[in-house]
Amino acid sequence: MPLWFVRGLRRGVVTTRYPARPDPSASALPTPPAFRPDALTGEIADALVATCPSRALARDGDALLFDAGACTTCGRCRDLAPAAVAASGEFELAGTSRTALCKRIPLAGEVRR
């Protein structure tokens, strides 16, 4: 029994300093996608909508609707179109409004119209 005590003393404090300081393990967390509107064509958008298993993506005419609340960070959208979708690195996603989690991503080519 004293062994773990000695081991613990040698290891030092393991408690994270979050939120005062960022936690180093945060970089390894799975996070929702971030989209590149330049690479997001209509076909890619439709394919992404079809592949998302939790209905987080929807096509609304000239925009892609992304519901960050419904995202399960499975990564299928990123595997399908790595050029258009990257990991956002954001895990601090709590919000007081459900609609604030629904984002509108403009598709490629539509901005110019």
Partner 1 sequence: MTTEQAAAAELRGAIARQFGRSLHIRTLDTGSCAACEQEIRMLAAPHYDLNRLGFFFTPAPRHADLLLVTGPMLRAFAVAAHKTYDAMPGPKLVVATGACALGGVYEPDSFSYGSVDAVLPVDVWIPGCPPSPLALLQGLLVAVDRLAEKVPRLSFVAGGPS
66 binds partner 1 (CB under 8 A): yes
Q: Give, as ranges, the residues between 7 and 46 that touch partner 1 (CB under 8 A).
A: 14-16, 18-19, 23, 25-26, 29, 32-37
Residue 75 makes contact with partner 1 by CB under 8 A:
no
Strand partners, 67: 102
Minimum CB distance to partner 1, residue 99 (Å)? 10
Q: Please select the residue that binds partner 1; options are 41, 47, 51, 73, rule is CB under 8 A.
A: 73
Radius of gyration of the chain, Cα coordinates, nearest whole angstrom: 20
* CA 34 – CA 91 distance, rounded (Å): 12
Phi, psi of 101 (to 5 degrees): -85, -10
Cα(46)–Cα(48) distance, integer angstroms: 5
Distance in angstroms (rounded) separating the CA atoms of residues 101 and 92: 12
Minimum gap (Å) between residue 68 Cβ and partner 1: 5
The single residue among 44, 48, 71, 77 that binds partner 1, judged by CB under 8 A, is 71
Both tokens of residue 76? 């299928």
Which residue ranges make up the site for partner 1 (CB under 8 A)?
A: 14-16, 18-19, 23, 25-26, 29, 32-37, 54-56, 66-74, 86, 88-98, 100-101, 103, 105
